[in-house]
Amino acid sequence: MCVALSAAGVVLFVLNGSSAVPATFGSRGAAVATNVAFLAFPIFGGLIASRRPDNPLWWIFSAVGVSAALWLFCDAYAVRALFAEPGSLPGGRAAAWLGNLVWVPGWGFAVLLYLLFPNGRLPSARWRPVAWASAVGTALLTGGLALAAGPLRDYPYAVNPIGLTAVPADSEQVGILSFLFFAAVGVAAVSSLLFRLRRATGVERQQLKWLLYAGVMAATGIAVWALLRPLGVRSPAGEELATLTRAAIPLAAGTAILRFRLYDIDVVINKTLVLGGLALFITTAYAAIVVGVGTLVGRGQERNLALSVAATAVVAVAFQPIRERLERMANRLVYGVRATPYEVLSRFSTRMGETVEPEQLLARMARLLAEGTGARDAQVWLRVGARLRPAAAWPLEGPLAPDDRRWRAVPLSEERLPPFDGVDRAVAVVHDGELLGALTVTKPRNEPLTPVDDKLLSDLAAQAGLVLRNVRLTAELMDRLEELRASRQRLVTAQDQARRRLERNLHDGAQQQLIALKIKLGLARATAEREHATAAVALLGQLAVEADDAIDTLRDLARGIYPPLLASEGLAVALASQAGRAPLPIAVDARGVGRYAQDIEAAVYFCCLEALQNVVKHAGARSASVTLTPVDGGLRFAVADDGCGLGAEVAMGAGLTNMTDRLDALGGALTILSAPGEGCTIVGRLPAEPLAAHPPAALGSRRQDGLALR
């Protein structure tokens, strides 16, 4: 609907374009320009209605636009029908009547727009009277104009077709009154925007900045025009052009509500301040020198030329320092106060002294860098081998994706800095002639790196050498530790693999050979029996018993080396089986424990076994228990007994060292809780994820201990 209305407005404007030509009244040109400018309203009204349907301001935009469009149409129509070519069109009086009053609701809606911008709600309940006053005033004025008797004010050649004598006739006083009224509510509405701006943050603040910027620009346009006119500067359509700047208001308001490139306004304001300041300076300088000095010294063509040259020289000399000063001022106004390089460096030294954690250290460095230079992105890079690895970045908005450009390492060629993508400046950090890392900054768009930023960057890089060196040493140490842990894990894994291999070799080799031997002994014995060789039968029977002993011994040996149950059935079953062989009752509770990776299961199994052996050998316990518990991201085991408790010398024994080593290799830890006479509990914990293919015992899979038997 709004799109249609705005289209109608445009069509009306085109219609009007031809018919408005003969109308040559004093200020009508400017009024037409204002209303043409306001045609931006319905367009944005339509855009807001389609893009941001939750924002109620679209109908105000549209209402202002419709009023403007109606005025344009009626005015042109009435002028043509009643004045330019009387009688050429019908209904001229009605058009004149409507044109006479339709601007009032237009202004009323415009006031309302300022009050409700940007979210459609009043800033607070206190502003309600202003909104009501504007609405009531607008309604009264519209009604009055509609019914006032006598000639129409803007169209003195037409009489109000529905004028009532009871209503006071339109007069100069009414005009002044209505002007004062709109000025009052207008000032109130604009101050409501300032009131909002003081409290607003984030998006709303940016939206308000847009509107205020447009307002200031429009006001400046009018002011400049007003200043230039008495100075004698006139252009044919000066007033109209100045008025057209008012289109900036709907443009800015609409852009702000649509949130299109919301944050660019900072750059725009910044540049405007600098350019405006420069323009003012140049104008003032010229005016002061050429007009001021010229007036004092006297008039003459040559003198004027010399003065112009002098003015140009003054402007040229002062231009650069003034521009820098203006830029600094604009930056401070727009981006807030930034730390001076000196402040940054002294803060850097203090903070580097405070922190120990290398990661934190680098993060703080990046932050100082960003705050000091006003960078959009500041990064600290660390040299690792032949690459520069990003070690810290500021600002960190949420967790960075692992494939974020900012985390990508850059390969190093010799001892020089490689090119960095998308950064404004990169500075090498060097210590003792060795390249240790780099600092990079990326400034906001359209904001160049200043010499001050550059200086800060190199000063910081010079100081960062020692810090980066320390960080690198720490990182290398951590790497070594990690290597050490990995190598220990490899050792344990290799040991486990060797155990499995040994068990398999025993099972497939010696054990099978003994079984085959026993079968043959049986066959031999049967033969001997058939031949009634009694002595041989007895001897073969004895051999069979010895073979059985050998088989039993070998079986126990193989199970001790690596229990096949652990591989095929898992921890719960293997431990329960082992517990059943102990000379004292051992309860095994492994509810909810599923299958884990081979190395995890082996570590837990052998640790529990080691602990149980300690219990049997040293504790003098009546009973013991083994408890396995899946914990968050890991597996916990506890072996508890009711024996005499561990002494310190036992705690340092080889068994516990083995357990600690095994768990360490997998990133786990061991705790011993014991007091003399109160038994002992050994608790181990290691990070582990259960294998998805094997649900926990309690859920009842096929491969279970008797617990799951039906």
Partner 1 sequence: MTRTARRRQYRAPMPIRIILAEDSYLVREGVTALLRDEAGLDLVAVCGDHGSLLRAVETHVPDVVLTDIRMPPTGTDEGVRAAEQLRTTHPEIGVVVLSQYAEPSYALTLLQHGSERRAYLLKERLGDVEQLLSAIETVAAGGSVIDPKVVDALVAARSHTGSVLDRLTPREREVLAEIGQGKSNGGIAKALFLTERGVEKHISSIFSKLGLSAERDSHRRVRAVLLFLGQQRGAPAG
Which residues in this chain contact partner 1 in the complex, by CB under 8 A?
A: 504, 507-508, 511-513, 515-516, 518-523, 526, 529, 544, 547-548, 551, 555, 558-559, 564-565, 567-569, 572-573, 576-577, 579-581, 583-590, 623, 625, 702-710
Nearer to partner 1, 68 or 593 (CB): 593
Q: Which CB atom, from 287 or from 516, has the smaller least distance to partner 1?
A: 516
* Cβ at position 521, least distance to partner 1 in Å: 6
- Choice between 243 and 511, CB closer to partner 1: 511
Minimum CB distance to partner 1, residue 568 (Å): 4
Q: What is the C-alpha separation between 59 and 62, in angstroms, rounded?
A: 5
Adjacent-strand bridge partners of 625: 587, 640
Q: How far is the CB of 623 from partner 1 (least distance, A)?
A: 6
Q: Decide whether 383 or 559 has the Cβ nearer to partner 1.
A: 559
Instruction: Return the number of the residue (548 or 689) whose C-beta is nearest partner 1.
Output: 548
**Looking at beta carbons only, is 635 or 697 nearer to partner 1?**
697
Looking at residue 609, its amino acid is L
Q: How do strand 586-589 and strand 624-631 relate by DSSP bridges?
A: parallel
Quote the least distance from Cβ 478 to partner 1, whole Å: 40
Q: Which residue, 368 or 624, has its beta carbon nearer to partner 1?
A: 624
Give the residue with the Cβ less far from partner 1, 547 or 619: 547
461 CB-side CA count, 13 A: 24
Q: What is the total residue count of the chain?
A: 710
Smallest gap from Cβ 422 to partner 1, in A, equals 54
Round to whole Å and give the CA distance between 637 and 607.
9
DSSP readout, 3-60?
HHHHHHHHHHHHHHHHHSTT---TTHHHHHHHHHHTTHHHHHHHHHHHH-TT-THHHH
* Closest CB 611 distance from partner 1, rounded Å: 17
CB 501 → partner 1: shortest distance, Å? 12
Shortest Cβ distance from residue 529 to partner 1 (Å)? 8
CA R_g for the chain = 46
| Smallest distance, partner 1 to C-beta of residue 527, A | 11
> Least distance (Å) from partner 1 to the CB of residue 625?
7
Is the Cβ of residue 293 or residue 683 nearer to partner 1 in the bound state? 683
The region that residue 10 occupies, defined by phi over 0 for left and psi between -120 and 50 for alpha, beta otherwise, is alpha
Helices 202-228 & 264-286, crossing angle to 10 degrees? Answer: 20
Nearest to 631 by CA among 657, 596, 661: 596
CA distances from 413 to 383, 405, 417, 420, 428 (A): 12, 20, 7, 13, 13
- Given the complex with partner 1, which of 290 and 566 has the nearer CB atom? 566
Q: How far is the CB of 597 from partner 1 (least distance, A)?
A: 16
Report the alpha-carbon distance of residue 258 to residue 247 in Å, rounded. Answer: 17
Separation of alpha carbons 477 and 480, rounded Å = 5
In whole angstroms, give the CA distance from residue 174 to residue 486.
Answer: 92
Q: Which residues pair with 416 in a beta bridge?
A: 413
- Nearest approach in angstroms of CB 350 to partner 1 is 60
Determine contact, residues 439/457, Cβ cutoff 8 Å.
yes
Q: Map tokens 């003015």 to a residue.
A: 311
Q: How far is the CB of 509 from partner 1 (least distance, A)?
A: 9
CB 603 within 8 A of CB 662: yes
> Token pair of 18, please?
């031809």
Instruction: Report the candidate in 246, 108, 129, 127 with the shortest Cα–Cα distance to residue 193.
Output: 127
* Closer residue to partner 1 in complex, CB, 227/515: 515
Pick from 105, 120, 107: nearest CA to 53: 120
Please calculate the CA angle 569-572-577 and round it to the nearest 5 degrees. 80
Answer yes or no: are the C-beta atoms of 40 and 247 closer than 8 Å.
yes
Q: How far is the CB of 607 from partner 1 (least distance, A)?
A: 19
Contact (Cβ atoms closer than 8 angstroms) between residue 405 and residue 396: no
Amino acid letter, residue 22: P
Of 382 and 619, the one with the shorter C-beta distance to partner 1 is 619
Point out which residues pair with 383 in neighbouring strands: 388
Taking the C-alpha atoms of residue 656 and residue 636, their distance in angstroms, rounded to an integer, is 17
Instruction: Give 482 or 508: the residue with its C-beta nearer to partner 1.
Output: 508
Q: Give whichever of 235 and 527 is closer to partner 1, judged by the CB atom.
A: 527
Return d(Cα 609, Cα 684) in angstroms, integer. 13
